Structure 1
Amino acid sequence: MTAESALWSGPADRQGRTGRWQSWRSSAALIRAADVLAALIAASLPWSTTVPSIFVGLWLLVVTPTIDWRDYGHEVARPAFALPFAILLLALLGLLWSDGAWADRLHAIKPVAKLVLIPPLLYHFSRSERGLWVGLAFVVSCALLAVFSWIVLLDPAWKITATASSGVPVKNYIDQSQEFTLCAFALALPALTFWRRGNVVATAACLALILLFAANMVFVASARTALLCIAVLLALFAWKHLNRRATLVLLAGTVAVTALAWATSPYLRQRITDIGVEYRHGHEDISRASTAQRLTYWRKAIHSFAEAPLIGHGTGSIKRQFERAATGGSSLDAEVVNNPHNQTLNVAMQWGLLGVVLLHAMWIAHLRLFLGGGLAAWIGLVVVVQNVTSSLLNSHLFDFHEGWMYVLGVGVAGGTVLKAKTRSQP
């Protein structure tokens, strides 16, 4: 605006411009606050369940006034936005035909409900410039946890909570391993990029962090599910970012490192060899029945699915189905649980084929978000592939920590990718 037009504009015009300026500043401040809260969610997730939940509530309060609801309504039509809502809607409808107790039905809504945070996260970070904050907060927090894990291994008195595993300060070794796996592979692409650019210091920093996470899983505490994820993600990394020669070098290095880890880590050898022991003796000794347990759960879950293949037994019905399938045989056959330790079977028991189709459609829609290039696309791809892989042996999408890793990872990385796509359009 020129000085002359400012002179001729009346008080109402100047007041309107002032109001718009203040509104813009207020919205920008709220967006910045939402970015900070998202980073705090990521930073607190490796250490707590209560604190991230508090930050999620605050994030929703802060981000809601910044949403352009007409624009958001258009975005929700996309499969990546809509399918989490569809799964929650099915879970709510499933309350009507469930044969489980009402307490079990209502409890089963909670793990599904967090999925509907994905659309607002996608929308918010498609406008924000600070998606990297969230990733850095998570990596730094996990690095501190990895260091503290070694301290706890040497002196268990430093444990924050009473955990069943040595070297695990909080939560459990499964959550810790999944977090470290995600961080290690999120750093793999920056390490490769810095190496190609000749930035030795940055490359060394990334490799040091990767080594910190990997060494912890080899010598301190690791879940066998995480080891499966590592194998799949290594293949994915080679396919996405390496040529044939570099892939052969990675394969040779992986074989050498695996042999070294096997030779130097009695803990790792025991974790692998226990698979056969657990399968053979699981029915006699339920305390060492991890492998036999899963096979038994899957057999019972498949039988339950076959009884109601289209819409399942309803929300929160898993425990009731295992009660019906319990026998008077071994302690393992008589065990009653509310989780079949497979995400697809978890969904199939409750909502049948309809639920399975929605679950896999959501995974595919989110995978398609991350098929391009760039760091955000790579991190998002790792998040989704890790969740799909680990969900073969667990119900990780519905578990607290792994589920929130998926929600945050897809929401933040996906929003960043959408923002980049918008910028690249003419």
Structure 2
Amino acid sequence: MLSVMASARHDPFARILNVDLVAVLVTALLPWSTSGVGIGMLVWLAALAATLELRPFLRSLQRPISLLPIALVALAAIGTLWSDASWSARLYAFSPATKLLFLPFLFYHFERSTRGLWVLVAFLASCTLLTAASWIVAIQPGLSLKEPGDPATYGIFVKNYIDQSQEFVLCTVVLAYPIITLLRDGKIREALLLTAVAANFILNMAFVVVSRTALVTLPVMLAVFAMAHLRWKTNLLLCLAAIALGALAWTASPHLRTTTERFTRDYRLYKELNEPTSIGLRLEFWEKSLRFFAEAPVIGHGTGSTRGLFEAAATGPAGLAQGHVIGNPHNQTLNVAVQWGMFGVVILYAMWFAHFSLFRGEGMAAWIGLMVVLQNIFSSLFNSHLFDFHEGWMYVLGVGVAGGTVLRARRTDSSGTDRS
């Protein structure tokens, strides 16, 4: 690698390879480190700067897939001007949106690179390694890097169970496409190998740890795969098999039963005793956020205003649901609507739609990008995942790398040659 980097001073192709290798490293670090991803993306941007051609890059910014993320970040920046929050709160709320500015650079670079799938495979390999770590710390909790003795860290080597579940769900559904393709091509061994990898993710979520958001998004994403790539008879058989396997997992896994039963238990505790359960708090946050949105429906209350609004609306002791104060309503649409009104919501949904439309078509890169967008949309019903660090970078890297790869394939198909 050092010789490649040294030769990059004179070889433009080696420079592009350097950018690709940094992207591979960053994506492999994503399941394990937050600081590594932040530093790595700055290094990636610096490496990209040495290869960037200004005019083609500026032309690429005119596409909606690039223009809309920039517009959302610009609105967040302008929104600081009419917010009543302190400037530290405004800047703190603005910061999570800035990662979207990497999308145009990722689209531009991977439209000219042939190594987009390297980056995506690196993420899959890293998550597969993380499942091994999860199994190990489930057996030996003392090996976890998290606080020992906390039940919430069971099966978690790094980060948290929500981030881990998001990764495992995405990898599981993404693997369905190559498995079916290999089976249709008669490559049974390769299909069985990938099936074993996918089963490893599913078993870990069933018997070690899984988030409730993952339990909602996984069936939706699998249903999209079935409708897009399978015949109705196959779908019927798979549906019956899924019901049977689900019943078996429910019977064999106390953890899975506990996780699903918490839906009704938490709702009952919130309604009857006003306890601040996970579901109860979300309902409380959403109800108040809708009121905040109704007060300023056009341009919102400004960047960073959310916590102050919740402080003013808090009633009763802090230990009860109505007394909780938060700066994030745990819903991406409401997070945007409270701060930037309908202007923000329109830009957010236009961006999601533009990115979704980019991945309509065949091919592994298109399938990965489609699943990344769908996962972010559905999981953002229960969280502000676009602005969260881990899930936000999953979206930016997944959409940016897969999107650039799809754009390159379309350009090559339309020209009949590869000009890069």
Shorter-chain TM band = over 0.9
Return the TM-score normalized by structure 2.
0.94
Question: In structure 1, which of residues 174, 177, 182 is the aligned counterpart of residue 170 of structure 2?
Answer: 182
SS at 2:292's partner residue?
A: helix
Output the aligned Cα RMSD.
1.4
Distance (Å, rounded) in 2 between the aligned partners of 1:199 and 1:23 = 39
Distance 2:275 2:107 in 1: 43
In structure 1, C-alpha distance between the alignment counterparts of 2:200 and 2:120, rounded to whole Å: 17
> How far off its partner does 1:285 sit?
6.9
Deviates more, 1:243-252 or 1:351-360: 243-252
Structure 2 CA distance, aligned partners of 1:34 and 1:281?
Answer: 51
1:409 to 393, 398, 415: 398
What is the aligned partner in structure 1 of residue 3 from structure 2? none
CA contact (8 A) 2:146 2:153 kept: no
Unaligned 5+ segments in structure 1 are: 1-21
Distance (Å, rounded) in 1 between the aligned partners of 2:113 and 2:9: 14
The residue identity in structure 2 corresponding to 1:107 is Y
Q: Secondary structure at the match of 1:276?
A: helix
Q: CA deviation at 1:400?
A: 0.6
**1:250: how far off?**
1.6
What do the CA deviations read for 1:215-262 (whole angstroms, capped 9, x no partner)? 111111101111111111111001111111111122112111111111
Any conservation in 1 of the 2:9–2:15 contact (CA below 8 Å)?
A: no
> In 2, Cα distance between the equivalents of 1:295 and 1:285?
11
User: Whose Rg is larger?
Assistant: 1
Matches of 2:238 and 2:53, distance apart in 1: 47
Q: Is the 8 A contact 2:310 2:325 kept in 1?
A: yes
Q: Is 1:208 aligned with 2:193?
A: no
Task: Identify the match of residue 281 of structure 2 among 275, 293, 310.
Answer: 293
TM (norm. structure 1) is 0.93
1:9-408 residue pairs with structure 2 within 5 A? 25-162=10-147, 164-282=152-270, 284=273, 286=275, 289-328=277-316, 331-408=320-397
Letter in 2 for 1:126: E
| Count of aligned positions | 404
Aligned counterparts of 1:268 and 1:416: Cα–Cα separation in 2: 37
For residue 154 of structure 2, give the secondary structure of its aligned residue in structure 1: coil
Q: Report if aligned partners of 2:8, 2:18 keep a CA contact under 8 Å in 1.
A: no
Contact 2:96-2:389 within 8 A present in 1 as well: yes
Secondary structure of 1:187's counterpart equals helix
| Partner AA of 1:355 in structure 2 | G
The amino acid of 2:81's aligned partner reads: L
CA distance in structure 2 between the aligned counterparts of 1:373 and 1:24, rounded to whole angstroms: 37
Q: Deviations over 1:262-300 (max 9, x none)?
A: 11111111111111111111364746x011011000001
Deviations 1:325-354 (A, max 9, x none): 101256210110011000000000100000
Q: Distance in 1 between matches of 2:384 and 2:285?
A: 12
Q: Deviations over 1:156-210 (max 9, x none)?
A: 1111233732011111100000000111111110111111111111101110110
User: SS of 1:233's equivalent?
Assistant: helix
1:135-163 C-alpha deviation (Å, 9 max, x unpaired): 11101110111111011011111112337
Q: 1:25 Cα shift?
A: 4.7
Deviations 1:290-337, CA, capped at 9 Å, x for gaps: 110110000010000000000000001110110111012562101100
The one-letter code sitting in structure 2 at the alignment partner of 1:30 is R
Write the deviation string for residues 345-378 of structure 1: whole angstroms up to 9, x where unpaired.
Answer: 0000100000000000000000010001100000
Amino acid at match of 1:73: L
SS state of the match for residue 322, structure 2? Answer: coil
